[in-house]
Chain A
Amino acid sequence: GAVVSQHPSRVICKSGTSVKIECRSLDFQATTMFWYRQFPKQSLMLMATSNEGSKATYEQGVEKDKFLINHASLTLSTLTVTSAHPEDSSFYICSARSVPQNTEAFFGQGTRLTVV
């Protein structure tokens, strides 16, 4: 399958700081990338859909000013958690779809964020 690289895999930050997570499609162009959050023993919850060159579409209840998403190219999307708080600690996972539209999505390795 296609390769999606997510970085960093783990990050610990202080409360009130911002953290940027990168998601790259290494061997294909991704017009659409998705950002998920997963709390322990829970399923993946879609946070937002990111389309290259346009604003992200956020799911209900997700603060777009807190979770900034940028999808500037067909191979890179970033998620910035601004003014992080301990309740933002979670496993963040991106996924990407290739062009032309192929419904299979490939996942990055995930980022374990801990806010202390």
Chain B
Amino acid sequence: QKEVEQNSGPLSVPEGAIASLNCTYSDRGSQSFFWYRQYSGKSPELIMFIYSNGDKEDGRFTAQLNKASQYVSLLIRDSQPSDSATYLCAVTTSGTYKYIFGTGTRLKVLA
């Protein structure tokens, strides 16, 4: 079992819709959870992070964490074509602060 799993997609949503991206992780001791966006040929850029169970909102983005079920999700409201990218979920392992990345979900927002 991979440590951090994501559906590779592509996930296609129409412009203005809500895009829902999911990520599961295997290490119950994981402490911090991050969502990065990566455009083709570019380096990842941080969208948001979450440490505690529940929801965290930042503009059009909402991260949701459920440690009991070991999943973290990212909702993008009012999706725009410029949101089309690969979204990477990253988890820091307990005690090491190393980031473990999922394989990423490719999102396509259709104009």
Q: Which residues of A contact B (CB under 8 A)?
A: 1, 6, 32, 34, 42-46, 49, 91, 93, 95, 97, 101, 103-110, 112
Contacts and interface: CB of A to CB of B under 8 A. Distances in A.
B18 to A, nearest CB: 24
Given A43-B88, A103-B49, A34 B98 contact: yes
Interface of B: 31-32, 34, 36, 41-46, 49, 88, 92, 96-104
Contacts of B43: 6, 93, 107-110
Contacts of B102: 43
A108 B41 CA distance: 13
Contact of A107 (B44, B97, B103): B44
A69 to B, nearest CB: 15
A114 to B, nearest CB: 13
A103 B32 contact: yes
A44 B88 contact: yes
Given A103-B49, A104-B49, A95 B42 contact: no
Given A42-B103, A43-B88, A44-B88, A103 B97 contact: yes
Nearest to B51: A103
Nearest to B45: A107
Nearest to A103: B32
Q: Which of A43, A44, A108 has its CB near the most chain B CB atoms (within 10 A)?
A: A43
Contacts of A6: 43
A110 B88 contact: no
Given A43-B88, A103-B32, A104-B49, A109 B99 contact: no
A109 B42 contact: yes
A101 B32 CA distance: 13
Nearest to A105: B99
A43 B96 CA distance: 20
A43 B42 contact: no
A15 B46 CA distance: 35
A38 to B, nearest CB: 9
A110 B45 CA distance: 11
Contacts of B45: 107
